[in-house]
Amino acid sequence: MIDIHCHILPGVDDGSKTWDSTITMCEQAVKDGVSHIIATPHANFRYSFNREHHEQLLQELRLRVPRLRFSLGCDFHLSSENVDDAVRNPRRYTIGNSPYLLVEYSDYVTKHTATDPIRRLLGAGMIPIITHPERNPLLLRHLDIVEALVALGSLVQITANSLTGFWGSTSKKAGMHLIKNRLAHFIASDAHDVRRRTTVLSEGLKVATSLLGSTEANRLVRDNPTKVVSADLVAQPTRH
C-alpha cells in the first residue's frame, strides 16, 4: 500500500513532534503493509511550507528508515494566498514531480466558493486531490459539491479511520457513500501520531473491500497512489 497523506516529518507542523515518534509511525506503517509514504506537511496560515527544508528532513528519514520509500507533497490549505502562489509556482506544492496536489478546504467553505479555486489550479496544470471531504462540515453534508468537483477534474481522498467511525457516524456514512458511488480515488491515513491518528490503512481498506470488492478497493491504496508517485494519469472510475 501507498499512503499519500501523512504528517510524518518531525517538528514541522501538528503531526509528529520528534524523530522517535516518526520512526514509530514508520514501523506501524510497515507492519500494516505500507511500502511507500508521501510526507505532507501543512501549508497554511499557521505552518509555512519550506520545500527545501522538508526535502532535507525527508532525505534523513530515508537514511533512518530504508525499508520504506518516501516522497514529498504537502497538505495545501485552499486559501487565496496559497492558490495565487501555487498558480505562479505549480510544482512548489505538488507531490514529487507530479501534477497532483493535496487540497484541504477550510471549515468555512461555502457552496458558492468551492469550485473557483479548483478551476484556477486545474487551469495552471495541477490535479487537485480533495482531502477528507467526509470530515469537512459543509462538504460531508453536501456531497453534491464533491461530485461537482470530481466532474471538474478533481480527485478525492478519504481518511482510513473515517470508515471505521473514528470521526463519528456522519463522517463514516459520508465516506462510505463516496466510495460506493465511485467518487473516491484514494484512502490515506492523514496520520499525525502513534496513538490516535496512526499510519494504519488496513482497517479502512477492509471497509472499502466490503463495499467494492478487493480489486476495486485495492485501487484506492495501491493502483491509484502508484500512478500519483509515477506522475501517471489516474482514471475516473466508471459509475454505476
| Tens-digit pLDDT profile for residues 155-190 | 999 999 999 999 999 999 999 999 999 999 999 999
The pLDDT value recorded for residue 38 is: 98
Within a 10 A sphere around the Cβ of 169, how many other Cβ atoms?
A: 8
Which residues of the chain register pLDDT less than 50? none
Distances (CA, A) of 175 to 93, 125, 131, 195: 26, 28, 11, 22
Domain 2-229 grouped into CATH 3.20.20.140: yes
- Using the structure block, give the residue that is written with the C-alpha cell 481522498: 157
Contact (CB, 8 A) for 202 and 33: yes
The pLDDT value recorded for residue 45 is: 86
pTM over 0.85: yes
Report the relative pairing of strands 75-77 and 100-104 from DSSP bridges.
parallel
Q: How many helices (H) and strands (E) does the chain have?
A: 9, 9
Locate the domains of the chain by residue range.
2-229
Rounded distance between C-alpha atoms, residue 195 and residue 148, angstroms: 35
- Assign residue 44 a region: left if phi > 0, alpha if psi is -120 to 50, beta otherwise? beta
How much of the chain, in percent, has pLDDT values that exceed 90? 88
- 3-class secondary structure, 191: strand
The pLDDT value recorded for residue 239 is: 65
Rounded distance between C-alpha atoms, residue 220 and residue 2, angstroms: 9
Residue closest to 22 by CA, chosen among 34, 33, 32, 11: 11
